[in-house]
Amino acid sequence: MLNTAKLQELNQYGAILVAGEVKNADRIVTEYALVYKGELVIKGERTSFVKRVERFFEGVKSKGLKDFLEEFVGGNNFGKSIVETKNPVKVQ
């Protein structure tokens, strides 16, 4: 998913990876989230999260991590949203 080097780089700028169990209709699943400055950047179950992280780092290549993360603050997601932003989720 995210190797140690990528996690350290994210942590350097204050972004954190969170994992937790979520109860869906009939089962409990583990979901992952990338959070930056209290804003949800990416979330999903393992498979969808991995795909979103890959797309995220494609964007990082062109802009740099810090600038790319800043585009997510306040729900101003880069290009097509990785996370739905009509009503951004503020993580407390």
Q: Pick the residue with more confidence: 85 or 61?
A: 61
- Split at pLDDT 50, 70, 90, the class of 2 is confident
Q: Which residues contact 75 (CB under 8 A, 6 or more apart)?
A: 39, 85, 88
Residue 79: the pLDDT is: 45
* Cβ atoms of 66 and 36 closer than 8 Å: no
What mean pLDDT do residues 69-82 have?
60
Entry pTM: 0.71
Give the integer Cα–Cα distance in Å for 82 and 75.
10
**Domains of the chain: residue spans and CATH:** 4-75 (3.30.160)
**Cα dist. 90→1, 40, 58, 74, 85 in Å?**
24, 7, 25, 9, 11
pLDDT in tens, 15-73: 999 999 988 888 999 999 999 888 888 899 999 999 999 988 888 888 888 888 888 77
